[in-house]
Every structure is written in structure tokens, then in C-alpha cells.
Amino acid sequence: MSESDSSPKIQTTIETGDEASRDAPLDARDTVIETRDLNVYYGDEQALDGVSMEIFEHDVTALIGPSGCGKSTFLRCINRMNDMIEVCRVEGDVEFGGKNVYDDDVDPVALRRKIGIVFQKPNPFPKSIRDNVAYGLKIQGYEGDVDERVEESLKAAALWDEVKDQLDSSGLDLSGGQQQRLCIARAIAPDPEVILMDEPTSALDPVAASKIEDLIDDLAEEYTVIIVTHNMQQAARISDRTAVFLTGGRLVEYDDTTKIFEDPEEQRVEDYITGKFG
Amino acid sequence: MATEDSTGDQLGRSAALRLQQLKGQLFEVALVAATLVGIVSLLVLFAYISVDAFRPGTASPAWFLVYLGTLVAPTAAFTLYARRRPAVRTANAVAFAAVFGGLLLSAVTYAVVDALSPYDVFIYGVFASLPPMLVLAYDRTTEGQAYTGPLILVSILVGIGVAAVVDGPISGPLGIAAEWIMYFGLVTVPAALLVGTLTASRRGRRTGAVAGGAVAAGGLAVAGASIATGANASLLVVLFSAFVVPTGYVVRRSVRTNPAGRVGLAGPFVLLGGALLGAALVERFGIETPDTFLTPTLVLESWDGLTASNAGVYPQIVGSIIIVGFMAVLAFPVGIGAAIYLEEYAPNSGFRGRLATLLEVNISNLAGVPSVVYGLLGLALFRRTLGFGTGIVVSASGTLGLLILPIVIVSTQEALRSVPDDLRQGSYGMGASRWQTLREVVLPEAIPGTLTGTILALARAIGETAPLVIIAVATTTYSPPSGLFSSATALPLQIFAASANAKPEFRHGVVPAAAVVLLTLMLLMNATAIVIRNKYGRET
Amino acid sequence: MSNESDSGVGSLQRSGFVVRKERLYGRLIAASAGLTILVTVGIILALSGRALSFWSQISPIAFFTGTNWSPVIANSYGVLPLISGTLIVTIFSALIALPIGLAAAIYLSEYASDTARSILKPALEILAGVPTVIYGYMALVYVTPLIDGFLPISVQLVPAGVPILPEFTLVMPSLGTFNALSASVVVGIMIIPMVSSISEDALSAVPDSLRQGGYGLGSTKFDVSTRIVVPSATSGIVASYVLAISRAIGETMAVTMAMGMSPQMPYFPNVLRNLAESSQTITAAMVQIAGADSYGSGPTYEAMFALGMTLFAITLIMNVLAELVRRRFREEY
């Protein structure tokens, strides 16, 4: 993927994308996102309760917990997708690169260009495959070679070989799993720093899901990935660190994935993981 | 409800149950009858109108036999043949749309431009289209794209303003040039550009340039030939550019993309050929034709209140088209903008949320205000406040525009609402702004729905009479409006005025014939809207 | 956008120009929406100025209680005959359209196959799309002679010799050239789709679980439709009725052309005579004034605005009423 030479901006990230960092021990990685005492309310209902956590570069961070525990809310707070919900109110800090993203001078549109998101249900635009991937480039006024970037992104999303002969056909003609990989290609095309994934495999069959899981592992080479899942095996398989949210929007435990799954501190977490509730 | 006998009895069909079933069947029959009664009564009344207008009784049986043989039977046979083969059916539909759409487009373009003066339209056309094209060209060569959108808008407005100033001084010297050159510039050049760009996007720049050049050369050739033979060069240039060229393009495309359906392309030509052959036979054998009121005179001449056979509604038709066309220019941007605000921008809560609710309620009330009241509004606004003259195009267009505004808003809102929220989320998640999301994702998806709604609004406007009566639009003018500030009349007004004429050749002749013209216009629009709705409506 | 890669801080903003441009677009769009308020304000201003000037010359009491409308000849501005004319058309067109429209709505929502619906719905919409001037022409030229062929009809309701009651015969006389009956018929036809489409929306909004519940208890389709679905959708149906009636009140061309221009107080006790003869609606009176020579000034001209104001007030109240009823029905599910 690094054979291209036309887009210096992306090039730097990809090449200095530091394989070293991915290989570095977990505790030696840099903080990318840090939340401090994050409270979120939907109207009168509290969805997150004092969540403070750090997310590290090139980590795959899994957020797990029962339905309604606030893990998706937390994810959508990071790139301010919650702004779309009028009754949603956020208190506390979400720092991204040392800057609170809820500061007045932060434009959520600019923020989302650095923190991409992939949704639960694949939602390709009713455009051609090429235009889907090029969408982010277009809206950001990308000046490099768009076709090349489309190819790179589709390759990075492990979709290129399947669609390279039908780039002009509609993204809606693809299968569910392909559509989701298209959405991932679309998200990485503008080269964000962080990719948020909101249960990206829950609408897919097991084969398609496992392809996405493999892909996530590759993506972590270049990006920081935060994934919400309620599939605990999935979290155990793909993540470096796992955060467990339990009812009431509280972050109960956050640690290395192996630690969480083998020897959690909290009894409730152990109960949840072993399937006693949730 | 049976009693507690043996269970087996209860599962059978007792007399009571059978009675109930009969009641249900009768009810269903009654419902079907009720659903149909309005439709059937209207069809019966349409039949009365058509018979009065066409007068089939006055034709000899031979006339019917000739057209049955040349027109009806071949067309019916061809349609039946096409029906069972999807590829042929598609090609047939495409060819029909191209041929009759092209003919209609040519006729309307020529009539409207002719009424408004080709020289003036040419000047305005050039000044309104060249500046935005220059802006676009500049945009291609540079990187600062942020300014392009607003600049295009501004350049069009400035261009029109400049045209208004220079129109007087320029149109004199321009008048030396032949009229057909204006039509060439107005119709052939855009057609050539369109064909060129479309071809270029599929088959490369060079082929595109050749195709565009061929269209322009063809236009010149047609003009030359018609001057040599003394035919109406302007009309033929328009027919070539807006009928022959698009039909040719569509036919070629269809042959390329849908080769299996090639036969279907013959559909419209079977129809037209049959009509011509029929006419030739009728002429050759001197067969008695119906003494119909649906004649070329009706659609090409102006009104004659004394002799029914000389009465035509050409100025009324062109007036209606110009009024409704300018109304669309005034009302659609505002209506679509308002709908976008209400669906995509307005918040649901807080002060501005309540404001949006107020707007919604207000719009639904406006939709229920009787059309005569809009007439009074138009009267007060255009006549008294703005001091416009009586019955001029802008007043009529403005009044009708206010009237259809709520219809446009509500149908556009529905179209926007049917765009799935997933797509918006996806776009926002990519870091698109609200405007970008709207332009790139939401609007393209909402276009078919919006188009349906706006066409229905046009159909409503073209039949509207009461507000025009109130603002004192003339019922009869003897020439089409020559500009936006000249007086005009509309087809429904002429029907209203003439229906008071009790002479049978008017009451049962010209008036139903004019009604047939109006109904045809309105049904064509409705059919177009329904076709668009069925084609694109259910995809999402 | 150039130094995007490292420090999150500087790059979390967009170019000021782009933001300002999009804000400008947003404002333009909001202004379009705001314009609709101006239309309402414009209507009220346009009507009230002239109407108030009229009512300062002719007292509102005389206007609203007068039984003679003869603006030109007798200089008399009593609106009751016009209201009577409007009511006659409204009532009889409603008698036609409300049951038929509801039946069509039940058929479309409960019985019709998808194919039937896809043909019948656009066909019904055409009924509302036909220009009203053509309805007026059809009523005048075709409907009146057609109906008149069956008339007159007389039915002796109370025969001679019945104690206490006077002898009474109900007579539907022959139709005049201009008459309320044919106007009512065409207005009825044109408002059918208003009833059927809004009612159908209301019927379709009834959740399927209610229908399933009905069938589960052994009800027939007839029972489910008439005893469960229709009652559940009452408020939507009522709203469609109110809107259709409001449309009939505001209808202009058809009644002007078919019903004529002779304002008339209603005939009693034989109400059918009202149908057979010419009268005039509020809207037709406005058209008559607009077409008259007195155009531009004078109390007659201003009377047009007073009539418009009256009409606007009536239809506004009905529309608000329908909206309130409809809102209730939206909350039900």
C-alpha cells in the first residue's frame, strides 16, 4: 500500500504510521483521547455517569456491556455525533490531542474528519462504489489523486479484489458484509486518526463478521480503533484493551483485554463476562 | 356466535355464519362501487366532452375503418407484442417518451420564444448563462472551490440585471441577424453542448466533441436547407434540436444498452406512420372526415367569439404556459428552500423548535385557504402595493405562485422525510457539514419525490381560474404575452368566459374542444408525475 | 486543512469562509420558510384593510344579518343569502362525498389488493386534479340535462286525511339552467379524494395488532373493518370531513358557472326546491364583483374583501379544527 507517492499528507501517516508503536508494549503507547468525568443526559435520563478513561494510540479498544449501558453513547460522544440529538446534554471533557472537543472553537464537522465512524447497519450511499469511497475526499476538498486513494482504501478494507471491476456499480448492490467493508473503506479514505465502530458486525453473518474482525486487526496498524460490541468473544479476540460498562452508564473496569477476561477485579464484571447476567 | 352445542357443529358453516359472510360480501361490493362511482362519473363526463369536441358522429364509417386499419390495429398489435417482452417494453416506453416529449418540447419552446421575441430571449439567455459558465470554467482551473457556489448564483443574477439594461440598445443592432440564428443559439447550442458532454463522459473527449459538432452542423444544415426551400427556418431548427437530436440520441443509447429491445423503438413510429398513412388514404379516396372542433385552427389561431370554426386558443395556451412557467421560477426555489429548512435545519425543541411548529401549522392552513382569497392577496400585493398593471404575467404568476407554495413545500417535505436517516448519519460521520450532506446525499435521493410534487403543483396551477378572475386577468387576448409585464390570458379563463355563450357550436363545440386541450395538458402532467413516482418511489 | 496531521487543536476548525458560506445558505433557506408567515400576514393585511373600510360604511350587523344581497341595484349588502347558497352546496356535496369518500378509504385500506390500490389511488387523485372550471362547465352543460331527465318527482309524505298533520308532498321540481343540484354533484365528486386520502391515512395508521385481536376473537372482516378499524380512526376521518367541507365552502368556479348569480334565501319547508333553483355562494359573489364594471373602488368593490375576510375566517376556523382533531388522532398510537 505504501508504493504510491502522490499524496504526501496521507503518505506520512501511513509510513510514519509507526509499526513500532503497534508493536510497542501496551503501557508504552501515547494517549490519543482522554475523557474526564463525562456525564451525558438524554433529557432527564442519565446515559453516562462520570466516565473517565484514556484511549491509546494504535490500540483496539473494545467497549462492552449490556444493552443500554451507555457504551454507544460514549462512542458517539467522542466525535460529537450526539450533537444531532437535540435532547442530549454533555458535561465533562473529551480531550482529543490535548484539546477538549466540546470547546466552543471546535467545529464538530472538522472533528469528524479526524475521527471517523462505522455504524451498526451498513449504510453505503446510493452512489457508485467509487463515489462512496471518494465521498470523504470530495467533501474535504482532497487535492491528490482520488482514484488512487479509492484503490488504497478499498485495499485496506480488503474489498478491492472483489469490486475492482465494478467500481461504477451501486454500493447498494453489494452483500451486507461487503457493504460494511465499503463503509470502512469510506471511513478510512480521508485518513482519520481514530475510527469508531458501533457494533459493526452485529448485522452480519458469521463469515462476513470474521472478515471484518481480521480487518480491524490490520487497521490498528495505522489507526486507533474504538469498537462497541456486545459479543464478548469478539472483544476478547480483537481488542488490546477492554472497557466494561454496566447499567447506569458507569465505567466499571478498564484494563488490558487479557486481564479483563482472565482475572477481572470486579465481581460484577466477572459475572457479566461469564454470562451470569446481561 | 354459536352456542355451546358440540364442537364439531361450530366449525361447520352454520346458517348464521353464511348470512354474515353474505353481509361481508355485499359490504365489499358496496365499497368497490363507492370507490368507482366518482371515477366512472368523471369518465362519463369526459366522454361527453370528447364526443362534443371531436364529433365522431359526423364522420363516415369508412373513415373509422381506414384509421382502424392503419392506426389502431397496428398500434394495438405492437403494444400487445411489446407487453410480454420486458426489454421491448422498456425500449418502447423510452422511444415514446423521447418522440412525444421531444415534439412537445419543440412546440412549447418555439411558441414561448416566439411570443417573447427571440432576440430578447437570446440576449437574456446569453447574459444569464455565460457568466456562470465562466465561473465554472474558472473553478476547473483553480483550487479555491469555496467561492464557486455563491458566485454562480450572483453571476446569474448580475447577468440578468445587465441584460435588462443592455437589452434595449443591443436588440436593435441584433435585429439585423436572421431570426433562426437566435433559435440556433438558444436551442441548438445547448443541445450540442449537452450531447457533447454526455457522449464525452461515456466515450471520451474526442468523440464528445465530434458528436457536439455534428449536432451544431446539423442545425446549420437544417437552417440552410429551409432557407433554400423557403420553409420556416426557426421552427425547423427548433424541431431538429429539441426533437430529432434527443430522439436520435435516446434511440442510439437504447440500441447500445438494451439491444434485445431494439424492436420496441419502432413503437412511436408505428403510431405516427399509421396516422400519416391514414390521412393519406382518407385524402386519396375523398373519405368524409369528422366535422371536428379539435383542429389545427383551435391550437394555432386566436379567439373568434362569433364564428366557432375560426376560434382558436393559441394565445391562451401560450399565456398559460408562460404564466405557469414563470410561476415555477418564482415559487419552486422558495418552496423547496422552506421544505429543506423545516425538515433538515429546524430544531424540534426550544424557541426555534416552537417557531418551526408554528411554520408547519401556518403552511397547512395556507394549503386550506380558498383560491379566491389568494386572488385578493394578489390584487392587494401586485396591483395596489407594487402598482403593476392589470392582468399582466408577473401578477398572475406571482398570485399562482403564492397559491401553490404550500403544495410544493408539503410534497418536498415528504420527499425529504423519505430519505433514510442512516444516510445522513453516514455523511455526518464522514465529517460532512449539514450543507454538504444535503447537497451530496439528501437532495439527490429526494429529487424524484420533489419532482412528482412540483409537477402536480404545476398541473394544479394550469387549471386554476378563480384567483386570475379576481386579479382581473383578461379572459381573451388576441396574441400571446410578449413579455413578463405584458397582459396575458390563460386557457381556463377562456373556457370560463366562453361557457356563457349559449350558441350550440360554442357550448357543444369550441368550449369542450378547449377543455380537451386543458385536460390533456393537465393529464399529461399528472401521468408524468405518476410515472416518476412509480419508477423511483419505492426504491428506498 | 493543511497542517492537519499532528496537534488536534489547530485543525479542529474549518475555514471561516466555508462556515460563513454555509451559514448564509442556511439563512436563505430559513428566509424561504419565513416567507410563508409573510404570506399569511399578507392575506390578513390585504383582506382586513379593505374589509374594515367596507364595514365602516356598511355596519357589520347589517352585513351579517341582512337577507338581501343586491350590491349594485339596491345597494343592499346582506350576506345571509350568500351564506345560504354556500351552505346548500356544502351540505349536498358533503352528503355525496363524505360517505363515498369514507367507503373508498375503507376499501383502499382494508380490502384492495396492491394492484387495485396502485391504479385506484392515482385515479381518485385525478378527481381533485381536474380544473374546477371544467367541473363547472360539465355541471352546466351535461349534468343538469342528465339529471333533469328524471325530474320532476313528487312524493306524498303525508297523505290527505291524516289527523293533526297537514297534507304534505315533497316535490323535486325540474331544474333551472343554473341550479344548486348539479353544482353540488360536481363539488361532491371533486372533494371525494380529500376525504378518501386523509381517511385512508388514518385507517392505515390503525395498528395491525388491533385487527389481529379482532380476528382472534372470531370476527369477520366486515366486523373488524366497521367495529374496530373505523372507530379507531374516527378522529382522522372527522378531520378529513372537516377539510373536505372547508374545501367545498371555498370552491369557486364550479359553483359560479353551474349555480348562477341569483342570491336567494332558502326555501322552506320544501328544501328540495333550493336544489332546483339558482342561488349564489360567497365565492360566486366575489367573482361577480371582480368581473363587474365597478372595479377598483366603491363599497361594492370593497364588499369583495369583506366577503373574502368572511370566507377566510370560516375556512381558517375549520382548518384549525381539523388540525386539532388530527393532532389528537396522532397521539393515539
* Chain C contact for B504 (CB, 8 A cutoff): no
Angle between the N-to-C axes of helices B245-257 and B86-116, in degrees from 0 to 180, rounded to the nearest 10? 160
Interchain pair C5, A96: CB under 8 A: no
Number of C-beta neighbours around residue C27 at 10 A: 13
Interchain pair B519, C134: CB under 8 A: yes
> Could you tell me the sign of the dihedral formed by the alpha carbons of C12, C18, C22, C24, in that order?
positive
Judged against a pLDDT cut of 60, whether residue B538 lies above it is answered with no
Nearest to B431 among A125, A140, A183 (CB): A140
For chain A, the farthest-separated pair of C-alpha atoms sits apart, in whole angstroms, at: 54
- Nine-digit cell string for B307: 364564428
pLDDT digits (tens, 9 = 90+) for B471-506: 888 888 888 888 888 888 999 999 999 888 888 888
What percent of chain A has a predicted confidence (pLDDT) above 90? 28
Interchain pair C8, A98: CB under 8 A: yes
Judged against a pLDDT cut of 90, whether residue C91 lies above it is answered with yes
Q: Which region holds residue A18: left if phi is over 0, alpha if psi is between -120 and 50, else beta?
A: left
Average pLDDT of chain B?
A: 88
Cβ-contact A226, A245 below 8 angstroms: no
- Nearest-CA distance C13 → chain A (Å): 5
A8 pLDDT band (50/70/90 cuts)? Answer: very low
Strands A224-228 and A241-246, by their bridges, are unpaired
* List of chain C residues whose C-beta atoms are within 8 Å of the C-beta of residue A224: none
Q: Which residue has the higher pLDDT, B344 or B539?
A: B344
Judged against a pLDDT cut of 50, whether residue A16 lies above it is answered with no
Residues 6+ away with beta carbon under 8 Å from B368: C243, C246, C247, C250, C315, C316, C318, C319, C322
- Nine-digit cell string for B365: 392552513
Cβ-contact B233, B178 below 8 angstroms: yes
- Nine-digit cell string for B192: 450540442
C22 pLDDT band (50/70/90 cuts)? Answer: confident
**Beta strand ranges found along chain A (DSSP E):** 31-42, 45-56, 60-64, 88-96, 99-100, 115-118, 194-198, 224-228, 241-246, 250-256
The residue extents of the domains of chain B are: 61-290, 308-536
* Chain A contact for C9 (CB, 8 A cutoff): yes
DSSP letter at B439 equals I
C83 pLDDT band (50/70/90 cuts)? Answer: very high
Range scoring the smallest mean pLDDT among B149-153, B312-316, B533-537, C303-307 = B533-537
Judged against a pLDDT cut of 80, whether residue A27 lies above it is answered with no
| pLDDT score for B146 | 64
Run of H or E residues at C158: strand C153-158
Task: Give this complex's ipTM.
Answer: 0.90
* Chain A contact for C15 (CB, 8 A cutoff): no
pLDDT digits (tens, 9 = 90+) for A90-134: 998 999 988 888 988 888 888 888 999 999 999 999 889 999 999
Composition of chain C by helix, strand, coil, percent to 5: 70, 5, 25
| pLDDT score for A15 | 39
C2 pLDDT band (50/70/90 cuts)? Answer: very low
The Cα-based distances of C87 to A268, C248, C257 in angstroms read 74, 9, 17
| pLDDT score for B166 | 85
Give dist(CA A188, CA A158) in Å, integer: 12
Judged against a pLDDT cut of 50, whether residue C237 lies above it is answered with yes
Give dist(CA B303, CA B479) in Å, integer: 9
Quick check: helix, strand or coil at residue A256? strand
* List of chain B residues whose C-beta atoms are within 8 Å of the C-beta of residue C137: 495, 499, 511-512, 515
Which chains have 3 or more CB–CB distances shorter than 8 Å to chain B?
A, C
| pLDDT score for A5 | 40
B110 pLDDT band (50/70/90 cuts)? Answer: very high
* Chain B contact for C324 (CB, 8 A cutoff): no
Nearest to A9 among C5, C7, C9 (CB): C5
* List of chain B residues whose C-beta atoms are within 8 Å of the C-beta of residue C35: 334, 338
Amino acid identity for residue B140 in this structure: R
Interchain pair A97, C4: CB under 8 A: no
Judged against a pLDDT cut of 90, whether residue C100 lies above it is answered with yes
Give dist(CA B230, CA C313) in Å, integer: 62
Side-chain half-sphere exposure of A57, counting CA atoms within 13 A: 20
pLDDT digits (tens, 9 = 90+) for B445-468: 999 889 988 999 999 999 999 999
Which chains have 3 or more CB–CB distances shorter than 8 Å to chain A?
B, C
Interchain pair B431, A126: CB under 8 A: no
- Nine-digit cell string for B267: 413503437
Residue with cell 457539514: B433
Query: CB contacts < 8 Å between A and C, how many?
Result: 39
pLDDT digits (tens, 9 = 90+) for A207-218: 888 888 988 988
From the list B294, B297, B406, the residue with the least C-alpha distance to B359 is B406
DSSP letter at A53 equals E
Give dist(CA A188, CA A194) in Å, integer: 9
Residue with cell 395556507: B366
CATH number among 1.10.3720.10, 1.10.1040.10, 2.40.110.10, 3.40.605.10, domain B308-536: 1.10.3720.10
Angle at B105 between CA B104 and CA B110, to 5 degrees: 100
* Chain A contact for C14 (CB, 8 A cutoff): yes
User: How many Å from the N-terminal Cα to the C-terminal Cα in chain B?
Assistant: 45
What percent of chain B has a predicted confidence (pLDDT) above 70? 96
**Residue B143's closest chain A neighbor by CA?**
A143
Quick check: helix, strand or coil at residue C308? helix
Residues facing B154 on adjacent strands: none
* List of chain C residues whose C-beta atoms are within 8 Å of the C-beta of residue B508: 141
- Nearest-CA distance A73 → chain C (Å): 21
Mean pLDDT on B143-157: 76
Mean pLDDT on B282-296: 85
For testing the chain C interface, which of B3, B14, B23, B45 should be mutated: the one with the most C CBs within 10 Å? B45
Angle between the N-to-C axes of helices B15-54 and C114-129, in degrees from 0 to 180, rounded to the nearest 10? 40
> Which C residues, 39 through 68, put their C-beta within 8 Å of a C-beta on chain B?
39-40, 42-43, 45-47, 49-50
Judged against a pLDDT cut of 60, whether residue A245 lies above it is answered with yes
Composition of chain B by helix, strand, coil, percent to 5: 80, 0, 20
* List of chain C residues whose C-beta atoms are within 8 Å of the C-beta of residue A112: none
Backbone φ and ψ for B247, nearest 5 degrees, come out as: -60, -45
Judged against a pLDDT cut of 50, whether residue A11 lies above it is answered with no
From the list B374, B363, B366, B364, the residue with the least C-alpha distance to B397 is B374
Give dist(CA A150, CA B332) in Å, integer: 37
> Which A residues, 47 through 86, put their C-beta within 8 Å of a C-beta on chain B?
79, 81, 84, 86
From the list C133, C254, C287, C252, the residue with the least C-alpha distance to B515 is C133
Number of C-beta neighbours around residue A176 at 10 A: 14
| pLDDT score for B473 | 83
Buried b (16+ CB within 10 A) or exposed e, B252-288: eebeeebeebeebbbbbebbeebeebbeebbeeeebe
pLDDT digits (tens, 9 = 90+) for C60-79: 898 898 888 888 777 888 89
| pLDDT score for C293 | 59
* List of chain B residues whose C-beta atoms are within 8 Å of the C-beta of residue C31: 337
Judged against a pLDDT cut of 50, whether residue A10 lies above it is answered with no
**Residue A193's closest chain C neighbor by CA?**
C5
Amino acid identity for residue B535 in this structure: K
Give dist(CA C141, CA A14) in Å, integer: 81
Judged against a pLDDT cut of 50, whether residue A13 lies above it is answered with no
Backbone φ and ψ for B175, nearest 5 degrees, come out as: -60, -15
Average pLDDT of chain C?
A: 86
| pLDDT score for B396 | 94
- Nine-digit cell string for A4: 504510491
DSSP annotation string for B114-170: HHH-HHHHHHHHHHHHHHHHHHHHHHHHSS-GGGHHHHHHHHHHHHHHHHHHHHHHH
DSSP annotation string for C9-33: HHHSS--HHHHHHHHHHHHHHHHHH
| pLDDT score for A22 | 63
- Nearest-CA distance B412 → chain A (Å): 19
Q: Which region holds residue A57: left if phi is over 0, alpha if psi is between -120 and 50, else beta?
A: beta
Nearest to B430 among A110, A126, A186 (CB): A186
- Nine-digit cell string for B233: 427556418
| pLDDT score for B299 | 84
pLDDT digits (tens, 9 = 90+) for B78-92: 999 888 888 888 888
Judged against a pLDDT cut of 90, whether residue B46 lies above it is answered with yes
**pTM summary value:** 0.88
Interchain pair C291, B499: CB under 8 A: no
Give CA C57 to chain center in angstroms.
31
Nearest to A141 among C1, C13, C19 (CB): C1
Q: Going from the N-terminus, what domains does chain A have, and what CATH number goes with each?
A: 8-21+30-273 (3.40.50.300)
Average pLDDT of chain A?
A: 84
Interchain pair B495, C21: CB under 8 A: no
Please compute Rg for chain C using Cα positions: 27
Give dist(CA A229, CA A236) in Å, integer: 11
| pLDDT score for A18 | 44
Q: Going from the N-terminus, what domains does chain C have, and what CATH number goes with each?
A: 58-332 (1.10.3720.10)
**Residue C97's closest chain B neighbor by CA?**
B38
Judged against a pLDDT cut of 90, whether residue C191 lies above it is answered with yes
| pLDDT score for B438 | 92
Nearest to C287 among B150, B405, B469 (CB): B469
Please compute Rg for chain A using Cα positions: 18
* Chain C contact for B466 (CB, 8 A cutoff): yes
Judged against a pLDDT cut of 90, whether residue B519 lies above it is answered with yes
From the list A129, A230, A127, A228, the residue with the least C-alpha distance to A178 is A129
Side-chain half-sphere exposure of B213, counting CA atoms within 13 A: 6
| pLDDT score for B537 | 61
Quick check: helix, strand or coil at residue A79? coil
Interchain pair B37, C218: CB under 8 A: no
Number of C-beta neighbours around residue C161 at 10 A: 7
Cβ-contact A33, A78 below 8 angstroms: yes
Buried b (16+ CB within 10 A) or exposed e, A92-131: bbbbbbebbbbeeebbbbbbbbbbbbbbbbbbbbbbbbbb
Cβ-contact B472, B380 below 8 angstroms: no
Interchain pair C8, A109: CB under 8 A: no
Residue with cell 444516510: B423
* List of chain B residues whose C-beta atoms are within 8 Å of the C-beta of residue C251: 370
pLDDT digits (tens, 9 = 90+) for C124-175: 989 988 999 999 999 999 999 999 888 788 887 777 777 777 777 778 888 8
Q: Which residue has the higher pLDDT, C187 or A71?
A: C187
The Cα-based distances of A27 to A241, A266, B94, B185, C222 in angstroms read 11, 21, 66, 72, 72
Interchain pair B427, A135: CB under 8 A: yes
